Structures are given as structure tokens and as C-alpha cells.
Amino acid sequence: MSIRGRIFIIVMSCLSMGLLFAFIVAERDLGASLQNQIQIELQKQGQIIQSSLGSLSQYTDLNSLKDEIDVFAEASQSRVTLINSSGVVISDSNIDVDDLNLIDNHSNRPEVIDAQNNGMGWSRRFSDTVQQEMLYFAILDPSAGQQGVIRLAVPYIYFDQAFRSLNTSVILILVVALIASIMAGIIAGNYTRENFLELERAVTRLESGDLKKKTIKSLPTKRVDEIGSVARSLSSISVDLKNQLTLLAKQRNQFGSVLNDLGEGIVVFDELGIVNFNNDEALNILEVSDLLNISIDDLNLQPIKLMFDQAKKKGKYAMEFEIESKLGNKWILAQMNAAKATKEFILVLHDETQLRDMDSMRRDFVANLSHELRTPVSVIRANSETLLDGALDHPKDANKFTKAILHNSERLTEMVSNLIDLSRIEYGDKQFNLEDVDLKNKIHRVMEAMTSLAAEKDIKFVFDYAGEAIVKADHGALEQVLNNLLENSIKYSSKNSKIDIKLRKQDDFYRVSILDSGSGLTPEESSLVFNRFYRTAKARAESKQGSGLGLAIVKHLVNQLGGEVGVMPRKNGGSRFWFTLKSK
């Protein structure tokens, strides 16, 4: 039931009880007052008759007395009876003189007895004489010398009629009051309802989470009644709640930022295996778009399901597992811990793929370095031993062995120098002096320096760029990048071929591409060609000499200069190496 309905029922109930009580009290008081007024009036009339008649003994003719009594009866609208001290009726306005002897003795009438004893008396009773209920008043007539009584009587029906008339008026007044009260109750109920509806609308908006300043201000806080008091309390609570929510949101964001910056994936499951929380790193590691509210069974990752089951039994469980990835298999180190206080399970994921790849690269690096060093060292040692064994005595042989020792020592020197350069670049120890460099002119200079090396295989350079190309770069670093790329292209290009060099402007960058005429690269080789000491199977089979560090140095130098580097294998043979540098 609505507040208006409840208020209406309460008001009507109280009003009805009040009106009923008022009616009962009014009926009682009005009846008593009306009866008292009639009694007073009868008493006055009796006293008037008493003083007017004088002594009853002076009337010897009952007819003349009857005439006198009739005058008073008509004037007072009452029945007048004269009774002597013996209780005999000597005159009655309602009875003929001839019939007086038929009337009973009135000495036993209550009002007569009271009048004789107390001077006056009252009585309400049924009259056998007139056959109706009467209200009697009797007063002693002391002038008679005896205990004579003058009695006045009126039919009680007059009192009832007057009382009913008053009751009708009272009832009408009460009905009017009731109707007015009902209307007032309806108006008050509507007014109260509107006030509560206003408060309810504001509370509903607050309940839905709308804690904006405008919503809080819509509360009727300026009222001075109870609704205003409630509104002020709600406003205060809402402001406190908004501040608490703002603080919680700030703390949640800080906590989320910390979790996202951990570098580890965090997934929280409830006791049923439903995800309650996850950070962004967990999505990246598992390569999914969403985890929230997903069941552990729907993840289709059996290792995580196994960890969840084991953590339920043991409290925690750790393992390493492998999952399929878009870029190949991914190794994940994971641990599941049970939080007893919240009945949740916290999964921590760490992507071990890069560490495994780095470990593999380290092993490959050591193996490749050992392989690359073994050949020149072995040659130097073998030739040195040969010289010591007597080849020094043969100038022609000695010269041959000495040249071999010199050539391989130069290879070792180059390899060590490249390793040092690469290490300095990777660890940021190499200083770069960035300035405006004419890229077109730099390409021409490197081409000229490589002309003799290219001529050994009858290789020609093709380069044509008419515009200006100024980039931000370090002179030495840029020259080394071009040297290594052109030397690599010459090494793997076939004889009597050409190397096509292109320079293009792309947005804020210049792009340099070098297309050779070699055997080309497979997609797998293209992804590994910039690694240290990496050599293709064909290069190893053809015993192509080199440190295996040139392209690795190119990659790191270009990255340090703020550019990008890559290779595009071609189906018809040859490879297009490219790099970009930012224009000035």
C-alpha cells in the first residue's frame, strides 16, 4: 500500500474515533443540558403559579380554580395539577372537575413526596392518567398552611423531539466535519505523496549509482520538516559514499596499474572456477580478448585446470607448460595459490618464451662463435706448426703460410672488433652524434668505396635519386650500415649481376632498399638473418666467409638511430634489404 493510502487510513481512523467520541459526549451533554433547561423552565413556571394562585384554601369553587389552572397550563404548555397535603388532586388542567374523584391519590408520587420533604421534586415516569411518559416538577405551596403541592408536567416526547432535533444538527455538523476532514486528508495525502515521490525519485537515482552533484542537489534538503531532515541525511551519506567510491576507484586504478606493470599475468578464480579478475598481461600471455566471468573449463587449457584442482587440495601448485601461439609455441611458467580468506585462487603467469629463446640464442651464439673462431685459429696454428717444422727454409712455402696466417688473423681481428662494436651498441655504450646528414651523398660515397670489391664479381650498382635527402643520423653509424648491407649484397650476389639501390621519401622518413641477385631467403631465414653469427644453410655449404655479425650490427645501429630495418624475400630470387631513417 502506498504512503498516501496508509496516511489516509490512519487519518480517517483517528478522525472517525474522534468524531464518534465527540458525538457520544455531545449527545450526553446536550441531553443533560436540554433536560436541565426544561427543568429550570418548569421550576420558573411553578414559582409563577405559586405566587399567582396564593393560598389554595381561598378557592371554594373548584370550577373557578380549574379555569385559573387552565390559563396557567395553556401559558406554560404544560399539565398543571394541584394536590392537597393528603395527596388528593383538587384540580388538574387535563381532567374535568367531575372526574377528579376518579383519580388515584397522589401522595405516593415521587415528585410529590420530594416536594413535601424538600420543597420541590422531580420525576420522569409513565403516567397512568394520560397514558404516556411524563416529566414532572412539584413545588410546595407553603401559603396553604398545609403541605399542598403544585405540580407541572410535560410529555417526555417533547424532550425526545427536541433532543432528536439537536442530534440531527450534531450529526449534520459531524458529517460536514467528516467530509471536510476527508478532503483535507486527501489533500494532505497528495501533498505528502508528492513530497515523498520527489524524495523517492532522487533516492532511486542514487540507488542506481548516479552520484553526480546534480542528483545530490535534487534532494529536498532545504525543507524544515522530517522529509528535509531525511533528505539532508541522504545528501550527507551520498557525498560520503561518492568520496569513498572515488577513493576506491583511485585505489583500484592504482592497484590495476601496479598489476599491469608487474610484467606477469594475474588471473583470480572463485571457488567454482569462474574468473573474477584478470590484468592485461594475462590476456597477452594467453592470447585471448577476454577472461572475466569465463569458467576455467571454457579456457580449454588443461594445465590450468590441473593446477586449479591441485591447488584446491594442496593450497598451491606450480608448473611449466606449453601452449600454441600465433608466432609459434609459447612456454609459460605458472603458479596457482589458494586464498583461504576469500575462497579464491590466484594464478600467476610468466611468459618464459623469451628467456628460452634467449637461452637458445646464447647457446647458438657460443656454438657459432666457437665455430667461427675455430677455423681461423686452426689455420693459424696449422700454418705456424708447418713453418716451425721447416717450411721457413723454403721461402716460397713460407710466404704462402705466412699470408694464410695474416689473412686469418685479420679475420679474427675483424670478428673481435665487430663483437666489441655490437656489445657497445647493445649496452648503450656507443655514443652517437646526431646531425643532418645527406643520405644521397653518403650512399654515393659508400658505393665508390665498394666499387673495387664489386668489380671482382663484375657487379654493378644502380642508384638514381634526383631529390635531396637529409636525415638525422650519425655519420659513422650510417656509413657502417651502408657498408655492411652493400658488402652482404656483393657477397651473396651472383657474378655479372647488378645491385639495385633505391631511395624513397615516406611521410617523415626516408627509406633505403638494396636489392641483390642472390639465391634469396626463405621466410624462416628472413626472420633469423639479423641474429648474430646466423648464416643460411647455403652460405655454410658454399663456405661464404664473414664474421656473421654484419647484419646484427646493422639492425642495432638503425634501431639506435630511431629507424627500422628488415628484409623482403623474393620468389624469383634475390633479397631486398631495407631500412628507414627520420628526415630532419
208 domain-assigned: no
On whether both 500 and 536 belong to a single domain, the answer is: yes
486 domain-assigned: yes
On whether both 440 and 483 belong to a single domain, the answer is: yes
- How many CA atoms within 13 Å lie on the side-chain side of 390? 0
On whether both 36 and 130 belong to a single domain, the answer is: yes
Structural domain including 247 reads 213-256
Whole-number pLDDT of residue 209: 64
On whether both 157 and 223 belong to a single domain, the answer is: no
Q: Which of 256, 280, 313 is the last residue of a domain?
A: 256
CATH number at residue 383: 1.10.287.130
41 domain-assigned: yes
On whether both 227 and 345 belong to a single domain, the answer is: no
205 domain-assigned: no
On whether both 115 and 74 belong to a single domain, the answer is: yes
CATH number at residue 335: 3.30.450.20
Write out the chain's pLDDT in tens, 584 residues: 555 566 667 766 766 676 666 666 655 655 566 666 766 777 777 777 766 666 555 666 778 778 877 888 887 778 888 888 888 888 888 888 888 888 888 888 888 888 888 888 888 888 776 677 888 888 887 654 456 888 888 887 766 666 676 667 767 777 777 777 777 767 766 666 666 666 666 667 666 666 666 666 666 667 666 666 777 777 777 777 777 777 877 776 766 667 666 778 889 999 899 998 888 888 888 888 888 889 988 888 888 899 999 998 898 888 888 887 766 688 888 899 998 888 899 899 888 887 877 777 677 667 766 766 776 788 788 888 888 887 777 888 888 888 888 877 877 787 777 677 777 777 766 778 889 999 999 999 999 988 888 998 999 999 988 788 999 999 888 998 998 899 889 988 889 999 999 999 988 999 999 999 888 888 888 888 888 777 665 655 454 555 677 888 899 899 989 999 999 887 777 899 999 999 98
On whether both 439 and 504 belong to a single domain, the answer is: yes
What is d(CA 552, CA 556) in angstroms, rounded to the nearest whole number?
6
Q: Which of 351, 376, 409 is the last residue of a domain?
A: 351
Residue type, 169: S
What is d(CA 412, CA 420) in angstroms, rounded to the nearest whole number?
12
On whether both 282 and 394 belong to a single domain, the answer is: no
Whole-number pLDDT of residue 527: 82
Q: Which of 324, 351, 378 is the last residue of a domain?
A: 351
151 domain-assigned: yes
Q: Which three cell numbers stand for residue 521?
A: 631467403
On whether both 535 and 469 belong to a single domain, the answer is: yes
Q: Which three cell numbers stand for residue 573?
A: 630470387
Domains contained in the chain, number: 5
On whether both 489 and 528 belong to a single domain, the answer is: yes
- DSSP, collapsed to helix, strand or coil, labels residue 140 as strand
On whether both 408 and 342 belong to a single domain, the answer is: no
CATH number at residue 461: 3.30.565.10
Backbone angles phi, psi at 60, to 5 degrees: -95, -20
180 domain-assigned: no
On whether both 154 and 74 belong to a single domain, the answer is: yes
- DSSP, collapsed to helix, strand or coil, labels residue 468 as coil
194 domain-assigned: no
Whole-model pTM?
0.42
338 domain-assigned: yes
* CA-CA-CA-CA torsion sign (548, 554, 560, 562): negative
